[in-house]
């Protein structure tokens, strides 16, 4: 468990993770509403050089950031009610030269890629977050990010 003291620390951890990302990676972000998933994703995108606004893709579901050195699709599955709807999103296409950041990955059921890095953010006192990771073998040497 890594304790993150506030949104700035959460964003910095995301930026540190950005340096470890490779084409084909999937980062699954778990946590309740307001846990810091989008803040973490913003840090990843900033770490890859994006300087614009980063919001939650709750309504568009997928926001592609194709202009980055490593293209990222930021995905929010909160509104997905049936895993069969996922086929319409063509998420596999993002992995052909880029990576996926997925909020609410539990909506995928068993369709989540087995090589996904699973990160859970939870409130841990006033403004802080606890970050825990479930590491597939491909991430063993890359976690925690430096």
pLDDT band (50, 70, 90) for residue 137? very high
Listed in sequence order, the DSSP H helices in 36-78 are 37-47
Check pLDDT > 80 for residue 58: no
Strand order in the sheet with 26-30: 2-5, 128-134, 117-123, 26-30, 99-103, 72-76, 62-65
What local confidence, expressed as pLDDT, does residue 73 receive? 96
pLDDT value of residue 20 = 95
What are the C-alpha distances in Å from 75 to residues 6, 26, 99, 146?
23, 11, 11, 25
| Residue 12 parent element (H or E) | helix 7-18
CB contact set of 3 (below 8 Å; sequence gap of 6+): 124, 128, 129, 130, 131
DSSP conformational letter for 99? E
pLDDT tens sequence across 45-54 = 999 999 988 8
Give the tens place of pLDDT for each residue, 5-15: 999 999 999 99
pLDDT tier, 42 (very low <50, low <70, confident <90, very high otherwise): very high
The predicted structure's pLDDT at residue 135: 94
- For residue 34, pLDDT beyond 90: no
Rounded to whole angstroms, the Cα distance separating 133 from 143 reads: 9
Structure confidence at residue 56 (pLDDT): 79
* pLDDT in the model for residue 113: 94
Find the mean pLDDT for residues 12-36.
95
Instruction: Provide the pLDDT for residue 54.
Output: 86
């Amino acid at each position: 468990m890594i304790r993150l003291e506030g949104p700035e620390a959460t964003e910095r951890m995301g930026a540190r993770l950005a340096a470890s990302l490779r084409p084909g990676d999937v980062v699954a972000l778990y946590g309740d509403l307001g846990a810091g998933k989008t803040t973490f994703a913003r840090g990843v995108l900033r770490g890859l050089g994006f300087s614009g606004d980063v919001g939650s893709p709750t309504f568009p579901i997928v926001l592609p950031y194709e202009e980055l050195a490593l293209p990222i699709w930021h995905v929010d599955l909160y509104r997905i009610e049936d895993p069969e709807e996922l086929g319409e999103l063509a998420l596999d296409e993002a992995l052909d030269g880029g990576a996926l950041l997925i909020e609410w990955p539990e909506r995928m059921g068993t369709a989540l890629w087995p090589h996904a890095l699973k990160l859970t953010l939870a409130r841990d006192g006033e403004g802080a977050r606890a970050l825990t990771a479930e590491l597939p073998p491909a991430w063993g040497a890359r976690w925690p990010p430096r």
